[in-house]
Amino acid sequence: MSEFECPSERLSLIRTRYIHTELGIRERLLVGVLTSRATLNTLAVAVNRTVAHHFHRTFFFTGLRSPKVPHGMAVVAHGDDRPVWLMYETVRHLHQHYGLDYDWFFLAQDDTYMQAERLAELVGHLSAGQDLYMGRAEEFIGGEERARYCHGGYGYLLSRSLLARLQPHLDTCRNDILSVRPDEWLGRCIIDYLGLSCVEVHQEMTYRYFELGKNADPEREDRAQF
């Protein structure tokens, strides 16, 4: 696993993180985008150009080994492109490296359309320090009626405290939960070990999304968040 950042940028990040930790200050939001061999240089680049500059930090997570990194992008390569493994490594990486630095973590696929201003507004109104798993709630096929996972195509928010509580269970979830969909796998892990389902409304704030065929751009094939 390797993270691609220039030395001067890395030094600045470490120093900034150290100061913020000393003072008990955290940034509000880190954005993680799941990408692939086929889309790193297309969809992921488009995300980086259009919305990444609106966020404090945006990372692109891929299963490639030593990929050729597009200019100006922070890419983390896990070395295994199986979707569930990529999700497992991504969540583990976020907690280990940034779990003390940010209040909220937004995960999305590289074909998710994001309106950065509305996402920033949402996290700006949510209280930190609580367990929250927020996005487009979907039912598990054949699962219990009230259990919901957050659909990966719309992106979803994970709170810092949820990430910290989930960390000790990730290895067990990786070994015991069988799923080919990374969003379902993560949702099942959160439900089984933390007892939390995906929610669309919290503290009178609603997670907004729209779909193709309703009020989405008819030329897009993906889902749109906010």
User: What pLDDT score was predicted for residue 73?
Assistant: 94
Helix-, strand-, coil-residue percentages of the chain, each rounded to 5: 40, 25, 40
pLDDT confidence bin for 6, thresholds 50/70/90: very low
Nearest to 70 by CA among 45, 51, 49: 45
Exposure b/e, 131-146, CB count within 10 A at least 16 = b:
bbbbbbbbebeeeeee
Tell me the average pLDDT across 108-134: 90
pLDDT digits (tens, 9 = 90+) for 77-99: 998 889 999 999 999 999 999 99
Classify residue 167 by burial, with Cβ atoms within 10 Å: 0-12, 13-18, 19+. middle
Tell me the average pLDDT across 51-62: 93
- Mean pLDDT taken over the chain: 83
199: DSSP letter: B
pLDDT confidence bin for 225, thresholds 50/70/90: low
pLDDT digits (tens, 9 = 90+) for 163-219: 999 999 999 999 999 999 999 999 999 999 999 999 998 877 777 765 544 444 433
Phi-psi region of 104 (alpha: psi -120 to 50; beta: other; left: phi over 0): beta
Question: Quick check: 150 pLDDT over 80?
Answer: yes
Ordered structural domains, the chain, with CATH: 2-225 (3.90.550.50)
